[in-house]
Amino acid sequence: MTNGSHSDHADHDQLAVASFAAGDAVDLELERARQLVAGCASCAALFADLQALQAATASLPAPRRIRDFRLTEADAARLRPRGWRSILAAFGSPRLAFTQPLAVGMATLGIVGLLVASLPGPLMTATAPASDGGATVEMAPEGAPAGSDDLLKTEATGPLASAAPGDATMPAAPAETPSTALVPAPSPAEGTAAERTDAQADLGFDSGTRELGDTSGTPWLTALSALLLVVGVALFAAGRLARRAR
């Protein structure tokens, strides 16, 4: 047996010795640890200390309990609520944690929806998507004199479409203007407004040409937004109350 110097021992694999002392070393690590313990006095001392430490740790006395941990009736009622409280408590569980961001999202959508529904007519018309059967514009035939009786008629056929009073007529604009760029003017081949109205009626669309500024198409948006807002706020409040109860 050779006694390794202290500087040599510092280079030795102490983790392998620890693994050997615990009985976990296998194969190469086991071989290396055996050699170290056999050839280095410091490694041998480490091995002995670790085994003694393991035994001493295992026989540590149990710390004495400083408190009684039995539950009170109040604890029990809080931890396992019954009746409507159990439903409320479910919102505070980690499984339903997603309801809080969902509630915020619903309330935000509700507020935005209510704001959009209360917008004045022209803004609503501009925001109405053409694919929803939004505002369509009847153009005067080319060559018609500007300012003549053939004025643009704005026809609202979609639920979002509306216009403010006073915008019922406007001068004919060239086809390149933004309003006509957004909503292409129908060619004569596409039929008259009356024909389109009939077709829309066949398809189940609201066929009536509304008065501009008529917001009767938005109640569904208002109702839906209000519903989202109420449900969102209720969900958020339930989550907060449940978490406070925990």
Contacts of 197 (CB under 8 A, 6+ apart): 207, 209
Q: Is 42 in the site for another protein (CB under 8 A)?
A: no
Within 8 A by CB and 6+ apart from 230, the residues are: 110
Nearer to another protein, 69 or 84 (CB): 69
| 219/118 Cα distance (integer angstroms) | 10
Q: Which residues of 113-150 are buried (b: 16+ CB within 10 A; e: fewer)?
A: bbebbebebbebbeebeeeebbbbbbbbeeeeeeeeee
The verdict on 183 binding another protein (CB under 8 A) reads no
Residue 157 — left, alpha, or beta (φ > 0 → left; ψ -120 to 50 → alpha)? alpha
The span from the CA of 12 to the CA of 232, in Å, is 64
For another protein, the closer of residues 14 and 180 by Cβ is: 14
Least distance CB 243 / another protein (angstroms): 14
By the 10 Å C-beta count (0-12 exposed, 13-18 middle, 19+ buried), 197 is classed as middle
The stretch among 45-53, 108-116, 158-166, 199-207 that binds another protein (CB under 8 A) is 45-53
User: Is residue 15 part of the contact set for another protein (CB under 8 A)?
Assistant: yes
Structure tokens belonging to residue 132: 């929803």
Task: Determine if 50 is a binding residue for another protein (CB under 8 A).
Answer: yes
Total binding residues for another protein by CB under 8 A? 36
170 touches another protein (CB under 8 A):
no
Would you give the binding string for another protein spanning residues 60-99, x where CB under 8 A is met? Answer: xxxxxxxxxxxx-x-xx--xx-x-----------------
Q: Pick between residue 76 and residue 130 the one whose CB is nearest to another protein.
A: 76
Rg for the chain (alpha carbons), in Å?
40
Q: How far is the CB of 49 from another protein (least distance, A)?
A: 5
Phi, psi of 153 (to 5 degrees): -115, 125
Q: Which amino acid is at 89?
A: A
Q: Name the segment binding another protein (CB under 8 A); options: 4-12, 50-58, 161-169, 219-227.
A: 50-58
Q: Which residues pair with 153 in a beta bridge?
A: 138, 169
Please identify which residue in 36, 37, 43, 46 interacts with another protein, judged by CB under 8 A: 46
| Shortest CB 51 distance to another protein, Å | 9
Which residues, 206 to 235, sit near another protein by CB under 8 A? none
Where do contacts with another protein occur on this chain (CB under 8 A)? Answer: 14-15, 18-19, 21-22, 24, 46, 48-50, 52-54, 56-71, 73, 75-76, 79-80, 82
